[in-house]
Amino acid sequence: MQKPQTPVIGGNFADPSIIRVGRDYYMTHSSYKLTPGLLIWHSRDLQQWKPVSAALTAYIGDVWAPDFAEHNGQFYIYFPAGGTNWVVSAPSPLGPWSQPVDLGIKGIDPGHITSPDGKRYLHMSGGLFTELADDGLSVIGEPRHVYDGWRYPEDWVVEAYSLEGPKLTFHNGYYYLTVAVGGTAGPPTSHMAVSSRSRTPWGPWEHSPYNPIVHTESADEQWWSKGHGSLIETAEGEWLIVYHAYLNGYHTLGRQTLMEPIEWTEDGWFCISEREVQLPSQPESFNDSFEDSLLALYWQCEGHEPSVRFRPEAGKLTADVASEQGTASPLLFMPWHERYEAEVEIDTADAAEGRLMLYYNDSAFFGMGVSAAGVRHFRSFKRYGTVPSTSGKAFIRIRNDKHTVSFYYSFGGHLWQKYDKVIEASGFHHNTFGGFLSLRIALDAVGEGQVAFRNFKYKSLED
């Protein structure tokens, strides 16, 4: 029987890449079109994590599967976006991070390794490999194919072969190449992490007899589509594998970050260990009164910086309107519970409408809007009746209780009324709409004029 697991970082934080600096741990993930991108998460105990910086402050494209690396005291993140591969660098994981440098090579999911003689290399999806210049900011020669991955039995139920996410570890004279195969979504048993090793960074490779290292074998398990592993040695000399997975029945939350202990075998391989580890601790709530002049890193927009439309200051968040939904990204917040509430006070002016939504993309969203006419419920395909008010102000609350979503409003903040519409939202995820996104909480302003948001609150409803 499998041990229950708690996410290390809940919500849609996929393709984790982790490093250790002394007793400090840092991790980054795919950020897609979200800006700021490549959030850097920090922990001292591997249990509690907090975002502390962002390596990308401006939009560069759809960012997938990065690799976090350190070399001679300098830090690097290699990542694909816009049909090429990039690198940013910094003297500390906290930054300041450089402007992105285009490496000018195709492929996705670059994985960095430094050999004992100081030479640097990148592996990429599909088994491609290239040498890097000494500074790590350019490539030498053309990528070449050096790796054919381990093959699972033909009768396994997976999404596709999709050899991706190479992560390199040098240990006891071997280069261990951990890759993802099986496809990253689709059926519950699709994804996995497998390992191979070589005496050189470019092969020849032998496959682990313990493959797959991480894999969902049945839809009855707690976590689906487990895969994309990254190894880390703790300050105490123990080893762990960090990977992502969907919670059973909750594709809406996206691929969450998990961690399990591994052990090295007598024949020089690694496999999942039965060693007990402390379960991570997830925060139960997040409140934002918008007192600071900079938004917390929990807030992001797609395709542009939040500051283009959203300005926090002195207890309110002022939002410039978009002419209509889909013309500019709402401000997005990533929930991480199966049961949660989100609440905010909305103050509108002129012909503007302020919105609190659950948002997958610009064609799949729903929520409540506040305007001078009152409050109303809307979905991406339909508008519903307005509860009249002349103040242009209201408090809005959305409750997501295991995919059953209810809507509440109050014109004074004390007496709450339930809106006469309820949504079943379990289908708002990648297998339906694509994009590898998740159902996120969103603030937005449409129409004409400005909208002010105050006192955003997010909390778990777990018993």
Torsion of CA 295, 362, 102, 20, to 10 degrees: 50
CA separation for the pair 296, 290 (Å, rounded)? 9
CA separation for the pair 328, 446 (Å, rounded)? 10
Phi, psi of 203 (to 5 degrees): 105, -175
Task: Say what the pLDDT of residue 322 is.
Answer: 87
Per residue in 291-316, pLDDT (tens digit) is: 999 999 999 999 999 999 999 999 99
Edge-to-edge strand ranges of the sheet holding 24-28: 17-21, 24-28, 37-43, 50-56
Structure tokens at 288: 């934002």
Is 268 within 8 Å of 170 (Cβ atoms)? no
CA separation for the pair 300, 283 (Å, rounded)? 19
CA separation for the pair 292, 296 (Å, rounded)? 9
Report which of 24, 26, 21 is spatially closest to residue 39, judged by C-alpha positions.
26
Unique residue bearing structure tokens 């040695």: 233
According to DSSP, the β-strands at 67-71 and 192-198 are: unpaired
Cβ burial 373-400 (10 Å sphere, 16+ → b, else e): bbbbbbebeeebeebebeebbbbbbbbb
Task: Say what the pLDDT of residue 390 is.
Answer: 83
Structure tokens at 163: 């050899």
- Under the phi-then-psi rule, with left for phi > 0, alpha for psi from -120 to 50, and beta for the rest, what region is 15? left
Q: What is the DSSP string of 64-105?
A: ---EEEEETTEEEEEEEETTEEEEEEESSTT-PPPPPEE---
Task: Say what the pLDDT of residue 1 is.
Answer: 46
Task: Say what the pLDDT of residue 37 is.
Answer: 98
Structure tokens at 28: 């980054």
Please report which residue ranges of 109-202 form alpha helices under DSSP H: none
- Would you say how long the chain is, in residues? 463
CA separation for the pair 67, 86 (Å, rounded)? 11
Model confidence, pTM: 0.96
Unique residue bearing structure tokens 């290699």: 78
CB-count exposure of residue 203 (10 Å: 0-12, 13-18, 19+): middle
Averaged pLDDT, groups of 10, the chain, 463 residues long:
81 98 98 98 96 97 97 97 97 98 95 95 97 97 96 97 97 97 96 98 98 98 98 97 98 98 97 90 95 96 96 96 81 98 96 97 97 96 91 96 98 94 98 97 95 98 79
Per residue in 243-295, pLDDT (tens digit) is: 999 999 999 999 999 999 999 999 999 999 999 888 888 899 999 999 999 99
CA separation for the pair 75, 62 (Å, rounded)? 22
CA separation for the pair 184, 164 (Å, rounded)? 9
CA separation for the pair 410, 416 (Å, rounded)? 5
Residues in contact with 108: Cβ distance below 8 Å, sequence separation at least 6, in sequence order = 64, 65, 80, 85, 124, 125, 164
Task: Say what the pLDDT of residue 364 is.
Answer: 97
Report which of 169, 186, 198, 264 is spatially closest to residue 227, judged by C-alpha positions.
186
Is 256 within 8 Å of 246 (Cβ atoms)? yes
- Under the phi-then-psi rule, with left for phi > 0, alpha for psi from -120 to 50, and beta for the rest, what region is 380? alpha
Task: Say what the pLDDT of residue 421 is.
Answer: 96
- Under the phi-then-psi rule, with left for phi > 0, alpha for psi from -120 to 50, and beta for the rest, what region is 385? beta
User: Cα 351 to the chain's mean position, in Å?
Assistant: 35
Is 229 within 8 Å of 193 (Cβ atoms)? yes
